[in-house]
Amino acid sequence: MQYQVQHSDRHSKGRVGLLTTGHAEVETPAFMPVGSLGPVKGLEPEDLQSLGFRLILNNAYHLYLRPGHKIVADMGGLHAFTGWPGAILTDSGGFQIFSLAKLCEITDEGVTFQSHIDGSTHFLAPEKAIEIEEALGADIIMVLDQCVALPASRVIIQDSVRRTQLWAERCQASRRRTDQALFGIVQGGLESDLRVASARELVRLGFDGYAIGGLSVGEGKPDMYAMLDVTVPELPESKPRYLMGVGHPEDLLEGVARGIDLFDCVVPSRHGRTGSLFTSTGRVVIKQARYAEDERPIEPDCTCPVCRRYSRAYLHHLFMVKEMLGARLNTIHNLWYFSELMRQIRETLREGTFPEFRDAFYRNHTRQAVMAGLAECEEPCGKLHGNGHI
């Protein structure tokens, strides 16, 4: 993997770069759609390519449990197994163990956990995590880390930082493949000094890129942004910076402004499957009865394949009858929105107009949203909220 910063914004810490792997060139800042089990649910590789994506995330935890990393390796690795020709990043599974495992016991040696699928017991050490990710064959792999829910005591967070550092060293030492980039993961909860210490220790070890983990796990957005403010300056400018599991539109803008290059989140695909559609002024919740006879597209000015062809009334119908095509079309629209948002962010960074673009985003998601009638909570309350829902 190679990474080159091509342009730095003079108004913020945002930058435009080019990340090159053996499978794709990826313009950054970039959003990665999540295909936990291999595919992004309901979509083929060609769909993702046509939407402008060149890098996706697969999850080592899920693929380890089903179908098994050895089977994927025997099938030629993830690229051959899934048919995805672009770049792939695999998460080591630390967050999934934290969030999904029925029971887990964490020691310095590793994690003993029960599968959320069948209750079977497994042990994941840092060396095992690297073995799994090398077998899967992604372009970018992650160290095993310990993520804690917030709020948490300083003692608990200190222990997770210490253990994450220990595991990072062991992951680095157990690498065998030279054709994969390995990223370290900064932890530290909402403790600024622990975040700084974690980042500095990882930089001392020297990784191909650096991720910021343990955020969007219970804290408010101002706290998350504050942790980015103290962490990003500690990371090398010559390496890509990845904010893990964060992906609401406003988070992408704020992350970019603070120097983040890569994002991933299930938000666009999961929201699509549940009928919540992103627009330039907020969200359209397509299951609401008001759309049963609405001839308009999701968003009049959107040029995605869905808006060019289908009405809100039709998408409402598909959702209400639980037709699988509805989830697919909704997902395509949402991913188009995210791809276009990232394209506009890169363009405005290059042109020096990112602050104006950022300001316009917030204007459109508040006052104009009320006037347009497009930004809606799933249960409309008639009030304007800070995230643009009414």
Asked if 193 and 234 count as a contact pair (C-beta separation under 8 A), the reply is no
pLDDT of amino acid 294: 97
What is the band of 376 on the pLDDT scale with cuts at 50, 70, 90? very low
What is the band of 369 on the pLDDT scale with cuts at 50, 70, 90? low
Domain 2-265: CATH superfamily, name plus number: Queuine tRNA-ribosyltransferase-like (3.20.20.105)
pLDDT per residue as tens digits for the range 245-258: 999 999 999 999 99
pLDDT per residue as tens digits for the range 263-320: 999 999 999 999 999 999 999 999 999 999 999 999 999 999 999 999 999 999 999 9
Q: Looking at residues 126-137, what average pLDDT do you find?
A: 98
Helices 154-173 and 192-205, interaxial angle, to 10°? 10
The Cα–Cα gap between 46 and 49 comes to: 5
Q: Looking at residues 225-238, what average pLDDT do you find?
A: 98
Q: Where are the domains of the chain?
A: 2-265, 271-372
| Model confidence at 170: pLDDT above 90 | yes
| Model confidence at 72: pLDDT above 50 | yes
pLDDT of amino acid 387: 35
pLDDT of amino acid 158: 98
What is the band of 384 on the pLDDT scale with cuts at 50, 70, 90? very low
pLDDT of amino acid 374: 39
Q: What are the φ/ψ torsions at residue 383 (nearest 5 degrees)?
A: -110, 150
Q: Which pairs count as long-range contacts for 121-128, CB under 8 Å and 24+ apart, including other chains? A: 122/64, 122/65, 124/93, 124/97, 125/170, 126/167, 126/168, 126/170, 126/171, 126/174, 127/170, 127/171, 127/174
pLDDT of amino acid 378: 41
pLDDT of amino acid 100: 76
Known catalytic residues?
91, 264
pLDDT per residue as tens digits for the range 318-365: 999 999 999 999 999 999 999 999 999 999 999 999 999 999 999 998
Average pLDDT, the chain: 93
Three-state SS string over the chain comes to CEEEEEEECCCCCCEEEEEECCCCEEEECEEEEECCCCCCCCCCHHHHHHCCCCEEEEEHHHHHHCCCHHHHHHCCCHHHHHCCCCEEEEECCHHHHHHHCCCEEEECCEEEEECCCCCCEEEECHHHHHHHHHHHCCCEEECCCCCCCCCCCHHHHHHHHHHHHHHHHHHHHCCCCCCCEEEEEECCCCCHHHHHHHHHHHHHHCCCEEEECCCCCCCCHHHHHHHHHHHHHHCCCCCCEEECCCCCHHHHHHHHHCCCCEEEECHHHHHHHCCEEEECCEEEECCCHHHCCCCCCCCCCCCCCCCCCCCHHHHHHHHHCCCHHHHHHHHHHHHHHHHHHHHHHHHHHHHCCHHHHHHHHHHHCCHHHHHHCCCCCCCCCCCCCCCCCC
Cis check for the bond before 240: say yes or no (omega within 30 of 0).
no
More confident: 19 or 378:
19
pLDDT of amino acid 255: 98
Is beta strand 55-59 parallel, antiparallel or unpaired with respect to 87-91? parallel
| Model confidence at 381: pLDDT above 50 | no
pLDDT of amino acid 172: 98
Q: Looking at residues 3-13, what average pLDDT do you find?
A: 98
Tokens of 305: 């394949």
Tokens of 15: 């930058």
pLDDT of amino acid 166: 98
> Of 46-60, 95-109, 193-207, 224-238, where does mean pLDDT reach its minimum?
95-109
pLDDT of amino acid 192: 98
Q: What angle do CA 51, 342, 226 make, to 5 degrees?
A: 140
Determine what percent of the chain is predicted with pLDDT higher than 90: 88
Asked if 114 and 120 count as a contact pair (C-beta separation under 8 A), the reply is yes
